[in-house]
Structure 1
Amino acid sequence: MEHAVLTGLVLLVGVAVALIAQWRDWRPSLTVAVLLGVAVRAVIYFASADDAFQPVDYEESFRPAGEAVLNRQDPVLGSEGGWHFLPTIPYMYGILLWLGLPWEYAGRLVTVVADIALIPLVAKLAGGAKANLRALQYALNPLALLVAAHHGQVEPVALAFGVAAFVVARGPGSPERTGFTMPVMERVRMYGVAEAPNRAWAWVKRSLRPLADDRVTLKRGMLAGLLMGLALCAKSWPIWLIPGMLLLLPTMRARIVSLLFTGAVPIFFLVTLPIFAGTAFHQIPEVIREIKNIRPIVGEWGWTPWITGGDWALIPWAAQLGTYLIYASVLVVIYLWRKADPIDMTIAILLAFMVVTPRLGAQYLMWFMPFLIARPTRFAWPAILAVSAWSAYGYLYMTQLAVDPWWYAHRDWSRFSIVILPLLVMAMPWGRRDPQSQRPVQAPGVSPALSGTT
């Protein structure tokens, strides 16, 4: 990377301002936060586009996908497996390339615009008096700057749609919400064992009964589902955001509608491949197989580099074990944070994923950033600074090295990541698991029995 010094200075100044803003409780206008975010992203955007070094996946995976769309070819098959997702973002690449924008600018423009959109979305997600402070801190987040403006990775696009889905699902009123606050067994004891099945069926019927403001809540559910579906079209990982989004909706009917629309959007983009991407109908099963075909490469982060010696390796058993650990940890987190604000549950899910995952790219660490910045915990900033420093070392320093020195540096860098895992665990919202320690807030106009808060 030719402009590592300039990029590093921008990141350091941004971090300093974000920390001083926290210390002095600065609350600039949202316009100021957005303009500052645009300015710092523009510096890194133009510097990275002008650099002779371009990230490998940006050149060899994302570019062929965009060029395939431009040439009326399927982006998954046309990129020879370099693109493993639905064609939503390659469509954007193809349009920008068709307009004549050079790839070095076109690919990053998509992610930078999405990352700028996240600045006001973080403010809306945070809510309350410090909303603009949180927007400023996201605008200067070093990892977001690197991922969006330098790497051109598509995480900001998925996050922009995902965070917007949370904002829509929560709707008006206080930003503080609660999850399920009455355990199932307590309901059984309340109703009596013999009456429990009938009472449960009555509760289901009551939950599905239309309310006075049913049309409004259903519209919220539809729009939130559409946005979450678009997030899934950008990448597959926003599936971990769905539980929190559904819990933010006030009624069971709205949650069902939202879930249906969430699934409908990816299906739409899949079945319309022959229309928009030139994919033959008989190729669609092949496209699905290629999307599902993710090689079990481990050795980049956490516990797996200590198995591989810090190198990348194809180890199916480690990848499978890590997958089981992810599923188990998500279930445990949902149980532990079932009473908490759904955004806090989401923060805990994403941080737990980072702790146990067997494979990870630096861009994955951006998943929790908008949520943790919007609702910071005691150890939020130590965790943010740690993952940002680890990622910046890889982005800024290691890209200066030749092939052999890079591999030697990678061995220490990847193994050192295990030191960050305890910080991620401490950054979870442990103190916000019990709604009794907060002021419970009922969604406006919704019966507590139907809102999942009793």
Structure 2
Amino acid sequence: MDYAVLTGIVLVAGVMLALVAQWRDWRPPLVVAIVVGVAVRVLIMYTSAIDSWQPVDFMESFKPAGEAVLRGQDPVLASEGGWHFLPTIPYVYGILLWLGIPWEYAGRLVTVVADIVLIPLVAKLAGGPKASLRALQYALSPLALLIASVHGQVEPVALVFGVAAFVVARGPGSPERAGVRTEVVAKVRRGVAAYGVRASIPRVIGRGGMLHRALLPGPGDVAHLKRAALAGLLMGLALCAKSWPIWLIPGMLLLLPNLRSRVAALFTTGLVPIFFLVTLPIFAGTSLKQIPEVIRIIQDIRPIIGEWGWTPWITGGDWALIPWAAKLGTYLIYACVIGAIFVWRRADPIDMTMAILLVFMVVTPRLGAQYLLWFMPFLIARPTRFAWPAIVGVSLWAAYGYLYMTQFDVTTWWYLHRDWSRASIVLLPILALAMPWGRRVSTAPDLAPAVDTSAKAKVTSAA
């Protein structure tokens, strides 16, 4: 990498400014944060575009996908599996290439614009008097600069839609929200204790029962459904960029005010990826016979481990195909994510989402440096006690890979990779400490209309 020193200076200066802003409690106007964010991203994008070193996947996976769209071909099949997501982003690549923009700029322009839009979204996500401070800190986030401006990885695109979905789902009012309500659960338990399981079932799921009443229109129902539909649309677009935003869906749903709006949001979330899949023959030239093959490639995840966390200590710091370790890690992810949802079920949904993403990073068997950006907008918007040790730690680890290791030939890179990948295990306890342990129960009032579970509201058995 030719401009590693300049990039490193910008990253270090940005971190120092972000920490000083935290210490001095600076709250600049939002426009200042956006201007700073634009300036540093455009600078690093320019130096990265004219650099003699370009990321392998950026050139050999993303570029062929954009060129395939330009030729009217399916980006998944024409890139020979290099692009294994829905074609939404390659469509944008194709348009930019059609306009004559060189790939080194066009590929990064998509991620840089998305990352710039994330700056005011982080302010919205944070809310309150320190919103502009959080926006400035994200504008200076070294990891975001590396992923968006150097690597051109598409994480910022998935995040811009995912974070926007959270902002829309939360709607107006206080930025603090309650998690799962416990009053209804307690009343169900009391009902079971009083009437028995068999007699309680129709009172919960029967006509006139709690579930039935929860699905009936209520005050402000149209406004809630519109908000839910828009939030679901945005989350669906996030899933069209990459598959990992599925971990954001529980938090988004909990931010919505009632069951009807959550059902609407879930429906529109799923509708968007289906739309881009079924329209492949129209927009990408994919034949109907090829769609099952496209789905197979998108679903295929090779069990490559050895880049991060505990798995490099199994592989000696190299990449390896070890199915049992990948399977174990996958089971750990599912178990720990379910555990995080349970532990933080009564927390603010943003805190619950942050816990889900951080626990994923701790236990995952496979990870690229770009994955570490997943939790960054949430952790910066709602920092915990160990937020900045985690932010600085993962940024240093990623910067070593992007700026230092790229100075050497392939053989030397692999030797350095062994120590670099194994060193990542030091970050796991820091990420675990950065989880919002002190915010497992939200003290915010519940803004959702409660379901009437009184005896008067019930339909008589037995009606």
* TM-score normalised over the length of structure 1: 0.97
Give the letter for the 2:110 counterpart: V
> Residue 302 in 1 paired to residue 306 in 2?
no
State the partner residue of 1:396: 403
Residue in 2 aligned with 1:333?
Answer: 340
Q: CA deviation at 1:294?
A: 1.6
1:408-452 deviation digits (Å, cap 9, x = unpaired): 1100000000000000000000000023xx2x2232xx41338xx
Q: Map of 1:265-280 to 2, 5 A cutoff?
A: 265-280=272-287
Q: Does residue 112 of structure 1 match 2:89?
A: no
1:198 aligns with 2:205: no
Distance 2:266 2:396 in 1: 37
Give, in angstroms, the shift of residue 370 of structure 1: 0.3
CA contact (8 A) 2:86 2:273 kept: yes
Cross-structure match for 1:89:
89
Is 1:414 matched with 2:421?
yes
Are 1:255 and 2:259 an aligned pair?
A: no
Answer whether contact 1:165 1:223 (CA < 8 A) is retained. yes
Task: Check whether the contact 2:348–2:441 (CA below 8 A) recurs between aligned residues.
Answer: no
Deviations 1:285-312 (A, max 9, x none): 0100011112111000000000000000
Question: How big is the shift at 1:58?
Answer: 0.2
Which residue is equivalent to 1:145?
Answer: 145
Once residues 449 and 185 of structure 1 are traced to their aligned partners in structure 2, the CA distance between those partners, rounded to angstroms, is 11
CA distance in structure 1 between the partners assigned to 2:160 and 2:185 by the alignment: 38
The separation in 2 between residues aligned to 1:262 and 1:364, in whole angstroms, is 22
1:348 and 1:429 in contact (8 A); partners too: yes
Q: 2:399, 2:187 → 1: CA distance?
A: 50
SS in structure 1 of the partner of residue 451 of structure 2: helix
Give 3-state SS (helix, strand or coil) of 1:425's partner. Answer: helix
1:207 to 206, 211, 214: 214
Q: In the alignment, is the contact (CA less than 8 A) between 2:184 and 2:451 conserved in 1? A: no
The residue number in structure 2 matching 1:17 is 17
SS for the counterpart of 2:147 is helix
Q: Give the Cα–Cα distance (whole angstroms) in 1 for the partners of residues 186 and 384 of structure 2.
A: 30
For 2:200, give the aligned amino acid: A
Of the structure 1 ranges 175-184 and 47-56, higher mean CA displacement relative to structure 2 is found in: 175-184
TM superposition shift of 1:180: 1.3
Change (3 A) 1:185 1:31: closer
* Alpha-carbon separation, structure 2, partners of 1:190 and 1:328: 30
Secondary structure, in 3 states, of the residue corresponding to 1:420? helix
Q: Which structure has the larger Rg over C-alpha atoms?
A: 2
User: Is the 2:307–2:421 contact (alpha carbons within 8 Å) kept by the matching residues of 1?
Assistant: yes
Letter in 1 for 2:375: F
- Secondary structure class of the residue paired with 2:294: helix
Is residue 27 of structure 1 aligned with residue 27 of structure 2? yes
1:78-98 Cα deviation digits (max 9, x unpaired): 100000100000000000000
Hey, what's the Cα distance between the residues in 2 that align with 1:264 and 1:192? 37
Q: Which has the larger displacement, 401-410 or 198-207?
A: 198-207
Aligned to 2:169: 169
Distance 2:130 2:401 in 1: 33
Instruction: Give distance in 2, aligned partners of 1:397 and 1:199.
Output: 64
State the one-letter code of the partner of 1:21.
Answer: A
Describe how 1:315-394 pairs up with structure 2 within 5 A. Answer: 315-394=322-401
* 8 Å CA contact 1:174, 1:441 repeated in 2: no
> Using the alignment, how far apart are the partners of 1:200 and 1:70 within structure 2?
55
User: What secondary structure is seen at the aligned counterpart in 2 of 1:340?
Assistant: coil
**Number of matched pairs:** 445
- Match of residue 441, structure 1, among 431, 441, 445: 445
Alignment equivalent of 1:228, drawn from 235, 240, 244: 235
Change (3 A) 1:215 1:185: closer
Using the alignment, how far apart are the partners of 2:291 and 2:321 within structure 1? 27
Instruction: Tell me, in whole angstroms, the C-alpha distance in 2 between the residues paired with 1:178 and 1:112.
Output: 33
- Which residue is 1:423 aligned to? 430
Q: Which amino acid aligns with 2:391?
A: I
- 1:199 Cα deviation (Å)? 3.2
Q: Deviations over 1:109-148 (max 9, x none)?
A: 0000000000000000000000000000000000000000
Q: Secondary structure at the match of 1:2?
A: coil
1:80 alignment partner in structure 2:
80
Question: What code does the residue aligned with 1:405 have?
Answer: T
TM-score normalized by structure 2?
0.95
- Cα distance in 2 for partners of 1:261, 1:52 equals 43
* Rounded Cα–Cα distance in structure 1 between residues aligned with 2:299 and 2:255: 30
Query: Which residue of structure 2 lines up, in the alignment, with residue 41 of structure 1?
Result: 41
Match of 1:432? 439
Give me the CA root mean square deviation.
1.1
Shift of 1:206: 1.3
